[in-house]
């Protein structure tokens, strides 16, 4: 290869390939490779700009260093990364570029480009498999906490959130800086990053002595969450669905009568006439301004559900169609989603579409006192996840589709900020790298009500925090649940105990059986869609209510502590739910811990994730720990067995 230095950047060329290595952030490098004449431009998920690295060019290759991270490029274009003298990552190659100890006859390249058309390629990037544990990558519905050995689709789906950043136990973090659809394979023989359609390979790597350092570096360049509003740290009350203004107020009044603080109440979908109207059905919500005024007098904020879907019969369809504000289909008729209507989806990657949607939301909700938005369907959800069938304002979904939830969050965050609001927090069902800076709480989607799914949420919540999203929640009790099931109350209690020690405490679910008649015989409007059974704290009998109320009181007693933890998320990028190794990286057993975590730096939480369990083992790292329930203090560096009857979630305070 031919090597050049350009303003502290390392450039390498060989035939039609150009490599560009740049210092970007603290102890971090950005690497790009293309077979086009020029790089495409743009920074992807990265904020800021390139700095100056320390570049050396010699006869046997070249290197670039930024702080403790160094990349060496061989004369044949083979890349290896080091933290000081410690090897971190090296490319996997079984062709002429590879290291001498491997056979070149397989012609297996570390960087592979398969032409598609024009300037676009199907791309592959491969690294040697190391002895390591891998965490992060967003949210996947699986119990695997350590992702080594997993194959992960890089695509957004309902309950799947693709954020292509992983943290390695070897001391590095890696961001696949590509918003296209693809796959990450963390195999035993090699690691492979695959993009189905792209102009170039683009990734960012950082080095750190601890997981905290790595997360600080990562969020330094992708953004950090703003300050979490104190008036949303308590209980969020929701169900599928409160159908009328009076239903909403009656629930809030009952909380107020019982003396239970209610921070947020949520109005779910089909409170509108048609999807895409982005307004209340006046028959069932005759005076939203009066509703929000009364709620605020009780200390309760109101959130409404916003879908990105637009019915062809919506009042907003004609002007949006004329302006080209929808996701396009590559073949056949323009339809994206067919749930209770023939709908298309607004294109969040189009700035004009974002402005249009926020304008309607401001006029019909925000100006009436609604100051929180539930951005549901934010992947967006398609009737079929046939990504090659859709095209956005900035390109095919295969190439840019994973950006959708981030741009959708941006539309509302920037609109609310421009309106002068400071306590911004919105709820989304998906995210991408950097979504955290747009005040996005991610929830884990429409999931089953069972203990297996609860265990999936444990892994999901911790890994999405490693991927940079500190604000996360679930449907407490799961979304699809039958309240008449004999096991549901046990599940709800165990889930609520877990939710109390999540960043956001939120009651929600579709509580069957669905034997409540609709308010209207019409096939549209705010009265036709069904509603589930009641889902308030008192809805499941006195025994359950007493436990839920006890844990809500505990949550409220921790407000001051939660503010401190949220401040760390805002200032340093730390997750609220933290893996054990995040707080105790020097303790090898903490890298092996399953089914326990740290809630901020002080509280060790060991949720009960198995039906019928009444005791469990908990590993206590070195130090002194106080049992939050019994008050007993014991030393760490050992595993203890603790009682966990239905009313107890084991929690230990670090002294």
Extract the tokens encoding 583: 């707080």
Is there a single domain that holds both residue 536 and residue 648?
A: no
Question: Mean pLDDT of all residues in the chain?
Answer: 96
Q: What is the DSSP string of 423-484?
A: S--EEES---TTGGGGTEEEE--S-BSSHHHHHHHHHHHHHHHHTT---EE--BT-SEEETT
182 and 258 co-located in one domain: no
Residues 360 and 427 in one domain: yes
Q: Cα–chain-centroid distance for residue 367?
A: 29
**Residue 364: helix, strand or coil by DSSP?**
helix
- What pLDDT score was predicted for residue 379? 97
> Are 270 and 381 found together in one domain?
yes
Domain annotation covers residue 482: yes
Q: Are residues 474 and 588 in the same domain?
A: no
Structure tokens at 287: 């005076």
Q: Which of 537, 567, 597 is the endpoint of a domain? A: 567
pLDDT digits (tens, 9 = 90+) for 595-644: 999 999 999 999 999 999 999 999 999 999 999 999 999 999 999 999 99
Domain with 179 in it: what CATH number? 2.60.40.1760
Domain stops at, among 174, 207, 240: 207
- Same domain as 600, residue 554: no
Residue 265 lies in a domain: yes
Statement to judge: residues 476 and 341 lie in one domain:
yes
Query: Residue 222 falls within a domain, yes or no?
Result: no
Q: Check residue 513 and report its DSSP letter.
A: -
Q: What is the pLDDT of residue 112?
A: 95
CATH for 622: 2.60.40.1180
Size (the chain), residues: 655
pLDDT in tens, 432-477: 999 999 999 999 999 999 999 999 999 999 999 999 999 999 999 9
In a domain, 220, yes or no: no
Residue 30 lies in a domain: yes
CATH assignment of the domain containing 475: 3.20.20.80
User: Are residue 326 and residue 461 in the same domain, yes or no?
Assistant: yes
User: What was the pLDDT predicted at 101?
Assistant: 65
Residues 149 and 30 in one domain: yes
What stretches of 467-539 show up as alpha helix (H) in DSSP? 488-500
Its domain, for residue 359, covers 230-567
**Domain-terminating residue out of 145, 172, 207:** 207
Distance CA 98, CA 127 (A): 11
> Same domain, yes or no, for 458 and 388?
yes
Q: 382 and 498, same structural domain?
A: yes
pLDDT score of 323:
98
Whether 235 and 261 have beta carbons less than 8 Å apart is answered as yes
User: Which residues of the chain are modeled with pLDDT < 50?
Assistant: none
What's the pLDDT at 95? 77
Whether 214 is covered by a domain: the verdict is no
Closest CA to 622 of 590, 579, 595, 597: 590
Q: Do 583 and 562 share a structural domain?
A: no
Structural domains in the chain (count): 3
Is 221 within a domain?
A: no
Q: Is 542 exposed, middle or buried (0-12, 13-18, 19+ CB in 10 A)?
A: exposed
224 occurs within a structural domain: no
| Residues recognised as catalytic | 376, 379, 446
């Amino acid at each position: 290869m031919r090597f050049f230095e350009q303003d502290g950047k390392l450039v390498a060329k060989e035939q039609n390939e150009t490599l560009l290595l740049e210092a970007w952030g603290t102890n971090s490098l950005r690497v790009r490779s293309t077979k086009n004449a020029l790089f495409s431009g743009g920074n992807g998920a990265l904020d800021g700009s390139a700095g100056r690295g320390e570049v050396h060019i010699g006869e046997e290759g070249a290197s670039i260093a930024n702080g403790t991270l160094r990349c060496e490029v061989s004369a044949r274009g083979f890349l290896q990364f080091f933290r000081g003298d410690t090897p971190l990552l090296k490319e996997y190659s079984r062709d002429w570029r590879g290291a001498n100890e491997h056979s070149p006859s397989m012609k297996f390249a570390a960087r592979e480009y398969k032409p598609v058309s024009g300037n676009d390629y199907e791309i592959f990037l491969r690294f040697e498999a190391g002895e390591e544990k891998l965490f992060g990558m967003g949210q996947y519905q699986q119990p695997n906490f350590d992702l080594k050995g997993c194959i992960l689709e890089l695509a957004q789906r309902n309950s799947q959130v693709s954020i292509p950043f992983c943290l390695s136990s070897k001391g590095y973090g890696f961001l696949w800086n590509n918003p296209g659809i693809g796959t990450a394979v963390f195999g035993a023989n090699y690691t492979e990053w695959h993009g189905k359609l792209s102009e170039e390979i683009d990734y960012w790597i950082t080095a750190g002595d601890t997981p905290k350092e790595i997360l600080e570096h990562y969020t330094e360049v992708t953004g950090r969450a703003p300050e979490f509003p104190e008036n949303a740290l308590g209980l969020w009350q929701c169900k599928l669905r409160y159908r009328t203004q009076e239903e909403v107020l009656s629930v809030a009044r009952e909380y107020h009568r019982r003396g239970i603080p209610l921070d947020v109440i949520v109005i779910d979908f089909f409170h509108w006439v048609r999807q895409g109207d982005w307004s209340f059905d006046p028959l069932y919500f005759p005076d939203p301004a009066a509703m929000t005024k009364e709620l605020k007098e009780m200390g309760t904020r109101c959130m409404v559900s916003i879908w990105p879907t637009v019915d062809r019969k919506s009042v907003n369809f004609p002007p949006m169609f004329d302006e080209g504000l929808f996701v396009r289909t590559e073949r056949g008729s323009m339809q994206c989603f067919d749930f209770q209507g023939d709908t298309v989806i607004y294109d969040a990657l189009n700035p004009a579409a974002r402005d249009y949607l926020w304008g309607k939301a401001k006029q019909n909700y925000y100006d009436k006192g609604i100051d929180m938005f539930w951005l549901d369907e934010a992947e967006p959800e398609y009737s079929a996840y046939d990504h090659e069938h859709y095209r956005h304002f900035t390109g095919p979904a295969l190439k840019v589709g994973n950006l959708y939830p981030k741009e959708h969050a941006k539309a509302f965050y920037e609109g609310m900020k421009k309106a002068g609001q400071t306590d911004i927090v919105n709820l989304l069902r998906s995210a991408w790298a950097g979504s955290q800076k747009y005040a996005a709480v991610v929830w884990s989607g429409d999931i089953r009500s069972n203990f297996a799914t609860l265990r999936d949420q444990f892994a999901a919540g911790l890994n999405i925090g490693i991927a940079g999203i500190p604000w996360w929640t679930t449907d407490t009790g799961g979304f699809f649940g039958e309240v008449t099931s004999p096991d549901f109350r046990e599940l709800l209690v165990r889930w609520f105990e877990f939710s109390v020690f999540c960043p956001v405490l939120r009651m929600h679910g579709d509580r069957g059986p669905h034997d409540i008649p609709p308010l209207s015989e019409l096939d549209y409007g705010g009265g036709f869609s069904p509603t589930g059974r009641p889902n308030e704290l008192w809805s499941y009998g006195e025994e359950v209510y007493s436990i839920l109320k006890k844990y809500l009181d505990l949550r409220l007693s921790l407000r001051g502590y939660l503010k401190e933890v949220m401040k760390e998320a805002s200032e340093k990028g730390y997750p609220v739910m933290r893996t054990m190794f995040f707080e105790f990286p020097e303790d090898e057993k903490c890298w092996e811990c399953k089914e326990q975590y740290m809630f901020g730096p002080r509280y060790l939480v060991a949720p009960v994730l198995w039906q019928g369990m009444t005791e469990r083992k908990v590993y206590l790292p070195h130090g002194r720990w106080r049992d939050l329930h019994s008050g007993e203090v014991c030393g760490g560096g050992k595993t203890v067995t603790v009682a966990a009857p239905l009313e107890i979630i084991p929690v230990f305070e670090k002294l």
